[in-house]
A and B are shown apart, each in its own frame.
Chain A
């Protein structure tokens, strides 16, 4: 019985511990967010901002095809990346957790996520090296005569997806592995004891038990992927733009903060909807 301490202290005491962090968050996270919401309702006339309370910036999103198209592109790329990464990472994590001897598992895992720690800008650049017209893949393909002309791999949606999948396969391997190893081996023994073969055990026992973990990983992938600027900017070229690129264009080239704010808030709303969707789904699975 951990009896609740009811000591007589100065009332300010506890707040002195929490206040600095709370104030920091309020000043540099909450306040900027409010400022952003306010600015998104303003208008940019010439180079000045006018406090005009208008939804014009949000309407632009629906009126101007390329803003809307960027959101569609973002959602498509994110969906493809999330599904591909899970499909690739799950068996990999399973092999590490099940087939690799226990004492080597940690090394196998550390190796599997080592490139995770390369600089995020450099990682995309590295894929450019690999996928470029005169890069290693094209030269290999030309060398063995599979193709006659270099394939246009870089500067495409495929390149963006490959760059993302590379990153998220590592992340998801980590989270799925963590899920698999905390699963008591007795579940599998019980299923086997009751007559289920390895495939049925996996399908009926292991997979459902790891599903909540997969969903958490999927949501993490979704959030990080849809908000990322570097990967599409380096690998995607200018053929199609994703939301973060469009937002950065508003800031960088045009200093149009109201439009950028409105687009950022729309992106946040999409993420929030995704969160609600995932949250409900995960909860249903747990029930």
Chain B
């Protein structure tokens, strides 16, 4: 037994070192968001919630938070809807040039957000579409729809096609097949793509930065906070964002994956 325990020691040490590396900045961030002082650096002068209060009272930050939620929910709904419809169309019907259509729909996955954002900026400029949250939302649909399409499409196998056939055989019309069978059956995939889109949109910076002006999203607002240097208020808002993301991940983990494992 002793020999066995010793053999695991390097693994344990290595894993702890990597966990340490991964958690170091997050721990520092959260810890010093409670700093009872003006700088988020050691020494810790005492614990206080004053910086969270400052965040709560910062109207611009709160507006940006709401904007971010609106953009994330709106663009994710759109991305899931378009992704689901196109996946259904391509998985279930005879259409010409399916390979090309799939390639086109997933192409944005391989292009960096900076370039997608820039292209939209130049185009919107040329056409005369003003910078706005809606413009940023359009960009977020562009980056998230391919993901939704890919996730949902991968779940539309032959077995699912057979289940839809069974529904038609029993008298269901096309819209009944989609609403009563296909969508509920693919619910985990739809939910997963929605939440993944939400987290990506929620966290996206560069497209929002390029395409918004007066009303901005939270990452853009945090970006302007960064200009003021190290500031416990930035720690506090960062901790809030982290907390929200963690809650989303836990929801995803509990609802989708637990469910997926059961059925």
Residues of A within 8 A of B (CB): 2, 4-5, 9, 13-18, 20-22, 24-26, 28-33, 35-36, 39, 88, 91-92, 95-96, 99, 110-112, 114-115, 117-123, 125-130, 132, 134-136, 139, 166, 169-170, 223-224, 226-230, 234, 244, 247-248, 251, 257, 260-261, 264, 267-268, 271, 275
Q: Which of A18, A35, A244 touches B126 (beta carbons < 8 Å)?
A: A35
Docked Cα-Cα span, A261 to B19, in Å, equals: 40
Docked Cα-Cα span, A128 to B24, in Å, equals: 12
Docked Cα-Cα span, A14 to B110, in Å, equals: 27
Q: Which of A14, A117, A125, A268 touches B238 (beta carbons < 8 Å)?
A: A125
B171 to chain A, nearest CB (A): 15
Please list 14 pairs of residues, one from A and one from B, whose beta carbons are closer than 8 Å in the complex, sorted by A's number: A18-B101, A24-B142, A36-B122, A36-B123, A99-B11, A117-B245, A122-B238, A129-B235, A169-B18, A169-B21, A223-B112, A230-B205, A234-B226, A244-B114
Given contacts A110-B253, A132-B230, contact A122 B241 (CB under 8 A): yes
Docked Cα-Cα span, A13 to B93, in Å, equals: 9
Count chain B CB atoms within 10 A of each CB in A2, A36, A112, A115 and give the residue with the most: A115
**Interchain CB contact under 8 A, B28 and A130:** yes
Docked Cα-Cα span, A29 to B8, in Å, equals: 51
B95 interface hit (Cβ, 8 Å): yes
B248 interface hit (Cβ, 8 Å): yes
**Interchain CB contact under 8 A, A115 and B123:** no
Docked Cα-Cα span, A28 to B138, in Å, equals: 8
A161 to chain B, nearest CB (A): 13
**Interchain CB contact under 8 A, B241 and A119:** yes
B185 interface hit (Cβ, 8 Å): no
Which of chain B's residues 148-174 have a Cβ closer than 8 Å to chain A? 149, 158, 161-162, 165, 174
Residues of B within 8 A of A (CB): 8, 11, 14-15, 18-19, 21-26, 28-29, 32, 39-42, 82-83, 85-86, 88-90, 92-95, 101, 104-105, 107-108, 110-116, 118-123, 125-126, 138-139, 141-142, 145, 149, 158, 161-162, 165, 174, 199, 203-206, 210, 218-219, 222-223, 226, 230, 234-235, 237-238, 241-242, 245-246, 248-249, 253
**Interchain CB contact under 8 A, B118 and A251:** yes
